[in-house]
Amino acid sequence: MQNSATGVIRHNQDVLQVIKSYWQLTKPRIILLLLITTAGGMWIAAQGQVDPVLLIVTLLSGTFAAGSANTINCLYDRDIDYIMERTRSRPLPSGRVSPRDALIFAITLAVLSFGLLTYFANLLSACLAMSGIFFYVVVYTHWLKRHSTQNIVIGGAAGAIPPLVGWAAVTGDLSWAAWVLFAIIFLWTPPHFWALAIMIREDYAKVGVPMLPVVDGNEPTSKQIFYYTLSLIPVSLLLVYPLHVMGAVYATIALLLGGIFVQKAWKLMQAPSDLMVARSTFKYSILYLMLLCAGMGIDSLPMTHQMVSAIAQHMQTVIGALL
Ligand code: HEM
Ligand SMILES: CC(C)=CCC/C(C)=C/CC/C(C)=C/COP(=O)(O)OP(=O)(O)O
């Protein structure tokens, strides 16, 4: 009796371990931020009034597409992941999932994503999601990652596709504002990744991946980080002017967040080998993108528009009374 109970417990633990391994293959923590940017795109496209069913289906499809891309990346990179300390315990290098099963899992996720987006949203959003997988797997992982110091600059375009998926799911096309969202993430990726690459330079050097800090050193990398970060401020404000899809609330948030990011990048440029500063810049990059997207959401709410116009009216009355 006790043996069979122990057997059931052990079986359940095994099942949980298998689920955990497949979950880890998808790199879920990265997907969360990708989904936040997708939601940001949807929110602006729908001017703050997104159909909840479309939102849920698009985010689920985005999860499947990104999970598929990340699984294929883990499959392709399992040789170097086995050598690098940070990635050694991932499901493939540690042997918890076989390459064949990982491939079947990735294909299933991609098919589900394409089917859901085509059925519930439109073909454009489905094709954009598939182009994200293609770009990340073929252009970044296969062509660039092991061959160019600009790997993450060009390859980073893959990570900038999710807001396009969100936008297209709502409107069926892509406007200038959607491309500005793409540009924000495109410019954000080098500071995000190179700050981390400064911290784990030795790992990349060990496996011969030509990340910029490995090849050119920390000083030129920190300069590049600074210029990309600086360029983020005017680009993030394009949504306010000339595109007029965001207002004063977003502008204030974008300026504030961008200012802090530039300050951190400046500090890193002054001390390019200070791992604590690099760590703080990397961590802040994630917070920056999360809060910028939250700012887009807040600015798009009809309640915010009412509040801003009420404040403006009040100010007008006060100024009128004073003059
Ligand atoms: C080519 C582009 C990119 C590269 C090379 C890159 C690389 C990395 C690496 C190596 C890590 C550390 C992961 C780990 O510890 O296992 C990381 C963390 C992270 N990345 Fe990126 N990244 C890129 C783009 C993006 C994009 C587009 C997003 C989302 C919009 C993103 C979101 C995150 C998040 C949220 C983390 C922290 C995960 C955690 O909590 O551990 N990354 N990135
Ligand atoms: C629309 C769509 C599906 C887009 C795909 C977006 C996507 C999956 C972006 C991932 C970006 C990323 C985490 C790169 C790190 O790869 P790495 O190989 O350098 O990281 P690692 O060393 O941790 O494996």
**What's the chain's average pLDDT?**
96
Which residues does 85 contact at the CB level (< 8 Å), separation at least 6?
A: 203
* Closest C-alpha residue for ligand 2 atom 9: 159
CB atoms within 10 A of CB 198: 27
- The residue type at 142: H
Give me the pLDDT at residue 2, please.
60
Q: Assess contact for 38 and 296: CB atoms under 8 A.
A: no
pLDDT band at 85, cuts 50/70/90? Answer: very high
Mutate to test the pocket of ligand 2, among 68, 72, 73 (most ligand atoms within 8 A of CB): 73
Give me the pLDDT at residue 309, please.
85
**Regarding predicted confidence, which is higher, 220 or 303?**
220
Q: Assess contact for 38 and 54: CB atoms under 8 A.
A: no
Mean pLDDT over 145-162 rounds to 97
Task: Determine the distance separating the centroid of ligand 2 and the alpha carbon of 159, expressed in angstroms.
Answer: 7
Cis peptide before 91 (omega within 30 of 0): no
Mutate to test the pocket of ligand 1, among 24, 27, 30, 151 (most ligand atoms within 8 A of CB): 30
| 36 three-class SS | helix
Give me the pLDDT at residue 158, please.
98
Give me the pLDDT at residue 151, please.
97
Q: Which architecture characterizes domain 175-301 according to CATH?
A: Up-down Bundle (1.20)
Residue 194 has pLDDT above 60, yes or no: yes
Tell which atom from ligand 1 comes closest to the C-alpha of 159.
27
Residue 74 has pLDDT above 90, yes or no: yes
Contacts within 8 Å (CB) and 24+ apart, 125-129: 125/58, 125/61, 125/165, 125/166, 125/168, 125/169, 126/61, 128/161, 128/164, 128/165, 128/168, 129/61, 129/62, 129/65, 129/161, 129/165
Residue 89 has pLDDT above 80, yes or no: yes
Mean pLDDT over 51-57 rounds to 97
* Lining residues, ligand 1, CB within 6 Å: 29-30, 33-34, 37, 86, 140, 152, 155-156, 159, 185, 189, 192-193, 196, 286, 289
Q: Which architecture characterizes domain 17-174 according to CATH?
A: Orthogonal Bundle (1.10)
Task: Determine the distance separating the centroid of ligand 1 and the alpha carbon of 193, expressed in angstroms.
Answer: 7
Residue 1 has pLDDT above 60, yes or no: no
Task: Determine the distance separating the centroid of ligand 1 and the alpha carbon of 43, expressed in angstroms.
Answer: 23
* Closest C-alpha residue for ligand 1 atom 33: 30
Task: Determine the distance separating the centroid of ligand 1 and the alpha carbon of 71, expressed in angstroms.
Answer: 14
Task: Determine the distance separating the centroid of ligand 1 and the alpha carbon of 309, expressed in angstroms.
Answer: 39
Residue 247 has pLDDT above 60, yes or no: yes
Q: Tens digits of per-residue pLDDT, 12-40?
A: 888 999 999 999 999 999 999 999 999 99
**Residue appearing with tokens 């375009």:** 157
Give me the pLDDT at residue 305, please.
80
Look up residue 159 and give its DSSP letter. Answer: G
Domain parsing of the chain, residue ranges: 17-174, 175-301
Mean pLDDT over 203-220 rounds to 97
Tell which atom from ligand 1 comes closest to the C-alpha of 197.
10
Q: Closest-lying ligand to the alpha carbon of 156?
A: 1
Task: Determine the distance separating the centroid of ligand 1 and the alpha carbon of 1, expressed in angstroms.
Answer: 48
Mutate to test the pocket of ligand 1, among 143, 153, 192 (most ligand atoms within 8 A of CB): 192
Q: Closest-lying ligand to the alpha carbon of 92?
A: 2
Give me the pLDDT at residue 323, please.
83
Give me the pLDDT at residue 301, please.
85
* ipTM confidence: 0.95
